[in-house]
Amino acid sequence: METAWLALLGLLLAGYFVLGGYDYGAQMLHPFLGDTRAERGSGRETGRSPALEAIAPFFLGNEVWLVAFAGVLFGAFPHLEGSLLPGLYPLIVAILAGLVLGNAAVQLRGRARGARGRRCWDALIVFGGALPALCWGCVLGLLLHGVPRRPDGTFHIGPGDVLTPFVLACGVTTALLFAAHGAAFVALRSAPELAAVARRRGAGLLRAAAAMGALPLLLTLFGAGAAMTNRMTSAVLAVLLAAALAGAWWWLTRGHHVRAFTATCCATALPVLLVGAGHYPYVLISPAGTGLTLGEAVTDDATLKILSVFGVVVIPVILAYQTWSWWAFRGRTGRRHPRYF
Amino acid sequence: MSAVDLARLQFAATTGIHWLFVILTMGLVPLVALMHTRAVFTRDPARRAVRERMTRFWGQLYVINYAVGIVTGLVMEFQFGLSWSGLSKFAGNVFGAPLALETLIAFFAESTFLGMWIFGWGRLHRGVHVTLIWLVALTAYASGFWILIANGFMQHPVGYAVRDGAAYLTDFAALLTNSSALVALAHITLAALTTGGVFLLGISAWHFARGTEETELFRGSLRLGTWVSMLASFFVVVIGQMQMPVIERTQPMKYAVLTDSGVAEVQRRLVAQHGPGDYVPPEGWIHLSMNTMSIIGNTVSTLTLVAVVLLWKDRLVRRRPMAYLMTAMIPFTFVASVGGWVVREVGRQPWLVYGRLTVEDALSHVSRSSLVFSCALFIAIFLALAATNWTLITRFAVRGPDATQLGATEPLPDDLPGSPGGGADDKQPVPAF
Ligand code: HDD
Ligand code: HEM
Ligand code: HEM
C-alpha cells in the first residue's frame, strides 16, 4: 500500500510537471509568440497574447496538481515532508514566490488598464514561469545527487549544494525542456500561423535542452553527478528520456503536433519517474547512498487506510473531470472564444 | 525577534491575508451561483439578459478575488512543512489526512470547474454551465470544512492516541465531528455570507447613489444582498454566542480570558497538569479582537435589519447618506472576521495542539536568517497582492457592468463600427451568445 501511495505521489508530481510544465513554458515564451496580427502591421496593439490564450482554460486546473502533491505529501508522507521542505527551504521559497507572482499575473493581466500595466504583468509572467522551472530542475538535481542528511534526519542546503555544475545543469535543462514543452502545446492549440512560429521555437529549444542535458549525464558517468540506487532502471529511464527528446524534435520539425506534444509530455514526466524509481525504496538519499526509506517516511497504517478509502473513489473522479475539461476545450483557439486572461 | 516569533508572524500574516480573500470568495460564490441559476431559468429574454449581465458583473469581481486567493493558498499549503515540521512529526498522522483530503476532494474540483466556468460562456450547455458554478460553490465550502477539521484538531484534539511521542489516528469519525470544528464552520459560513451580502448591498447602493442607469440590475443585487446579509448577520451573532459553551468545555484558559474571570485559577490548574509554564495567552489582543468582532457584528446586524425595512419602495437608496453608509459597511465585515481569527488562534497560545504540543517545540530547524528573508518576502508579496486585488475590485466595481470582461469575446473587426479608438480602455461589449 505504501508503494501505491508513492506511485500516486509520483503521479501527482509528474502530472504537475507535465501540465504545469507547459504553463511555465508558454509563460516564458509568450512575448516571443506575440500577436501575429500586430506583427503584420495593422499597427494597433491589441493586448492579446495567443500563447496565454492557448493555456487559459486549463491554467487553474493545472496548478492544482501541485497543491494536491503538497497535500498528499503532508497527508501520506508527513516524515518526508518534515525533512524535505525545511531542508530545501531557499529553493521552495523561491519556487513559491515565482509561482505566486506568475499565477497572479496570468490571471490579472487582462485586467490591466493600458499597455504599460500590461507590460509589467508580462514581465512578471515570464519571471513566474522561468523561476519555478529553474528551481524545480535544481530540486530534481539535488534529489538525484543526494542531499547532505545529518544523522538526525534533517538537512539544509546552502549555496554550495545548489551551485554545483550538476545541479545547475539540471535546472537549466528543465527550464529549457519546459519551454520546449510549452511551445509544443501552443503549436498544438493555435491557429496555423502561430503554430508555425511555435514549432520553430520549440525545435530550437529541444536542441538546446538536449545539449544542456548531456552535461548532467556526462557528470554522472564520471562520478560527479547522480548517485542512483537502481542503476539499471535509471539507465533505461535516461535512454527513454533521450528518445522522447529526439522524438519530440523529429515530429515537431515535421509538423506532427499531437505526436510531438505527446513526446514532450513523456520527456517532462520521466525525470519524476527517474527520481522515484531510480532511488526506490529510498525516497530521499544522501550522496553516500543511504537515506530515508519509504517505510520510514509513510504515515501510520490507520491513517493510510482511511486515505485509501477516499483515494479509491476520489482519484478516478478527478481524472475523469480533468479529462472532461480537456475534452471540452480541445479545439484550437480562435477569436470567437471567450477570452479572459 | 526570535525564530519562533518570526515563524508565527509569517504564518499569521499569510493566513490572515489568505483569509481576507477566502471570506469574500466563500461569500460571493453562492450568490453568483444563485444569480446564474435565476438567469438560466428566466424565460423573458430582456430580463434574462439583465440577469446574465448581473451574473457576469458579480462573477468577474468574484473571479478577480479568487485569482489572488488561490495563489496565497498555494503558499499556505507549504507553510506547515516549511516552518512547523514539529507539527508534522507529532501530529502528521492525524493532521495530514484532512489536509490531503482537502486538496484531493475540494481544490482539484474547485479549480478545474472554475476554469471551465470562466471559459465556458457560450461554449457549454447552459445547464452544464450553471451546474459548474454550483460545484465550485460546493467545493469552496468543502475546502472550508476540511481546513477547519485540521484547525479544530489543533484547538481541541480528538480521535487520537499518543505512542512514543507521536499522535496516531484512532477514531476518524470523532475527528470529523469535532465540536470545535463544526461550530466554527457554521460561524464561518455565516460570516462569509454576511461579507458577501454586505458586499453586494454596498456596491449596489453606491451605484444608486451615483445615479446608475442599470437600475434593474442593481435593484436585484441590492435586494439579494440586503436579505442575505440581514439573515446571515443575525445568525452569525447567535452562533457566535453558541461557541462560548464549546470553548468553556475545551479551552478553559481561553474562556477565562474571554470572560475575564478566574485566569489565575486556571493557570494554577494548568501548571498542576502540564508542569511549570505560562499558560496565559496575550489578554490585550484577545479582548481587543473580541470587542471589535462583537461591536461590528451587532452593528451590521442592526443596520441590515433597518435596510431590509427600507428596501420597500427603494427608500434605502433614495437618500445618499444612507446609501453611502451601506457602502461604508463593506470593510468592517473583513475586520470583524480577522478579529475572530485572532481570538481563536491567539487564544490557543502557547499551544499549537491544545494541551499536547507547544508552539516552541513545533518549529522547524530553519535558520533565523532564512526566516527573516522569507517572512519579509512573503509578507511583501502578499500585501502587494492584497493591494492589487482591492484596487482591481474597486475599479471594476466602480466601472459597472459595461466593463465586464468575463464571458465576453473579442469583437470581430466587422462587428466594430469604425475604428475603436485605441486600446486604452478595452471594453468588450459583445457577449458570446
Ligand atoms: C463577519 C464576520 C464575523 C462577525 C460579525 C462575528 N464573527 Fe465571530 N468569528 C468570525 C467572524 C465573525 C470568524 C472569522 O469566522 C471566526 C474565526 C474562527 C471562527 O471559527 O470564526 C470567529 C470566531 C469567533 C469566536 C472564537 C471561537 C474560538 O475561539 O474557538 C467567538 C467566541 C466568536 N467568533 C463570537 C462572536 C460573537 C459573539 C459575535 C457577535 C456579536 C461574532 N462572533 C461576530
Ligand atoms: C484564516 C484565518 C486564520 C488567521 C487569521 C489565523 C491567525 C493566526 C495567528 C494570529 C497566529 C499567531 C498566534 C500567536 O503567535 O499568538 C496563528 C498561528 C497559527 N495558526 Fe492560524 N489563523 C488562521 C487559520 C488557521 C488555520 C485554518 C490553521 C490550520 C489548519 C491555522 C494554523 C496555525 C498554525 C499552525 C499557527 C502557528 C503556531 C502558532 O503560533 O500557534 N491557522 N494563526
Ligand atoms: C481559515 C481557514 C481557511 C479557509 C476557510 C480556507 C478556504 C479556502 C477556500 C474557500 C479556497 C478557495 C480559493 C479562494 O477562496 O480564494 C482556498 C484556497 C486555498 N487554501 Fe485556504 N482556507 C483557509 C486557510 C488555509 C490554510 C491554513 C491553508 C494551508 C494548508 C490553506 C490552503 C489553501 C490552498 C492551497 C488554496 C488554493 C487551492 C486551489 O489552488 O484551488 N488554506 N482556501
pLDDT digits (tens, 9 = 90+) for A140-172: 887 877 777 676 666 777 777 777 777 888 888
B108, B385, B409: which to substitute to probe chain A, counting the most A Cβ within 10 Å? B108
Question: Which residue reads 544542456 in cell numbers?
Answer: A212
User: What amino acid is encoded at A185 in this protein?
Assistant: F
CA A284 – CA A292 distance, rounded (Å)? 5
**Could A71 and B169 be called an inter-chain contact, meaning their C-beta atoms sit closer than 8 Å?**
no
**pLDDT value of residue A341:** 62
Tell how far the Cα of B11 is from the centroid of ligand 2, in angstroms.
6
Ligand nearest to the CA of B335: 1
**pLDDT value of residue A23:** 85
Cα angle B235-B386-A48, degrees, rounded to a multiple of 5? 120
B 235-274: CB under 8 A from A: none
CA A259 – CA B430 distance, rounded (Å)? 37
- Give the start-to-end residue ranges of the domains of chain A: 2-31+48-328
Q: Whose CA is nearest to atom 31 of ligand 2?
A: B151
Task: Write the residue in A99, A108, A338 that is nearest to B67 by C-beta.
Answer: A108
User: What amino acid is encoded at A137 in this protein?
Assistant: G
| Ligand 1 pocket check for B347: Cβ under 6 Å | yes
Low-confidence ranges of chain A (pLDDT < 70): 34-48, 149, 151-154, 223-226, 228-229, 286-291, 295, 300, 330-341
Total number of domains in chain B: 1
Confirm whether B430 is domain-assigned. Answer: no
Q: Which of A128, A82, A299, A9 is nearest to B79 (CA)?
A: A82
- Chain B nearest CA to A234, separation (Å): 29
Q: Which helix (H) or strand (E) holds B281?
A: none
Size of interface A-B (CB pairs under 8 A): 243
Joined together, the cell numbers standing for residue A127 give 519571471
Joined together, the cell numbers standing for residue A214 give 548531456
Which 3 state secondary structure label does DSSP give B167? strand
Give pTM, 2 decimals.
Answer: 0.83
Angle between helices B126-155 and B85-101 (to 10 degrees): 150
**pLDDT value of residue A331:** 64
Confirm whether B432 is domain-assigned. Answer: no
Asked whether the beta carbons of A96 and A59 are under 8 A apart, the reply is no
CA B371 – CA B366 distance, rounded (Å)? 7
Task: Write the residue in A56, A64, A307 that is nearest to B107 by C-beta.
Answer: A64
Task: Write the residue in B112, B373, B432 that is nearest to A61 by C-beta.
Answer: B112
Cite the beta strand spans of B219-366 per DSSP E: 351-353, 357-358
CA A110 – CA A262 distance, rounded (Å)? 30
**pLDDT value of residue A338:** 57
CA B190 – CA B235 distance, rounded (Å)? 7
Provide CB contacts within 8 A for A268, sequence distance 6+: A14, A17, A18, A21, A22, A177, A178, A181
Asked whether the beta carbons of B56 and B129 are under 8 A apart, the reply is no
DSSP letters for A278-300 = HHTTEEEE-TTS-EEEHHHHS--
Q: Which domain holds residue B332?
A: 3-409
Tell how far the Cα of B314 is from the centroid of ligand 3, in angstroms.
38
Q: Whose CA is nearest to atom 43 of ligand 1?
A: B240
Cis peptide before A192 (omega within 30 of 0): no
CA A311 – CA A305 distance, rounded (Å)? 9
**Could A60 and B408 be called an inter-chain contact, meaning their C-beta atoms sit closer than 8 Å?**
no
CA A124 – CA A57 distance, rounded (Å)? 20
Confirm whether B428 is domain-assigned. Answer: no
Cα angle B162-B167-B171, degrees, rounded to a multiple of 5? 90
Print pLDDT tens along chain B (433 aa).
Answer: 777 788 888 888 889 999 999 999 999 999 999 988 988 888 888 888 888 888 888 988 898 888 888 888 888 877 777 777 777 777 777 777 888 888 888 888 888 888 888 877 777 778 888 888 999 999 999 989 989 988 888 888 887 777 777 777 777 787 788 888 888 899 999 999 999 999 998 898 888 878 777 777 888 888 888 899 989 989 988 888 888 888 878 777 777 777 877 777 777 777 777 777 777 777 788 888 888 998 998 898 888 888 888 777 777 777 778 778 888 888 999 999 999 998 888 888 778 877 777 777 777 677 777 778 888 888 888 898 888 888 888 888 888 777 676 766 544 343 333 333 333 223 333 332 2
Asked whether the beta carbons of A47 and B105 are under 8 A apart, the reply is no
**Could B96 and A84 be called an inter-chain contact, meaning their C-beta atoms sit closer than 8 Å?**
no
The CATH T-level fold of domain A2-31+48-328 is Formate dehydrogenase/DMSO reductase fold (1.20.1630)
CA B123 – CA A228 distance, rounded (Å)? 49
**pLDDT value of residue B425:** 29
B 124-183: CB under 8 A from A: 124, 168-170, 172
Asked whether the beta carbons of B175 and B150 are under 8 A apart, the reply is no
Q: Which of A55, A297, A308, A309 is nearest to A190 (CA)?
A: A55
Joined together, the cell numbers standing for residue B2 give 526570535
Angle between helices A231-253 and A192-221 (to 10 degrees): 150
Tell how far the Cα of B187 is from the centroid of ligand 1, in angstroms.
6
| Number of Cβ within a 10 Å radius of residue A313 | 12
B288 at A interface, C-beta within 8 A: no
Provide CB contacts within 8 A for B393, sequence distance 6+: B61, B64, B65
Tell how far the Cα of B145 is from the centroid of ligand 3, in angstroms.
10
Cα angle B340-B81-A23, degrees, rounded to a multiple of 5? 95
Joined together, the cell numbers standing for residue B377 give 518576502
Asked whether the beta carbons of B406 and B59 are under 8 A apart, the reply is yes
Question: Which residue reads 528573508 in cell numbers?
Answer: B373
Beta partners for B29? none
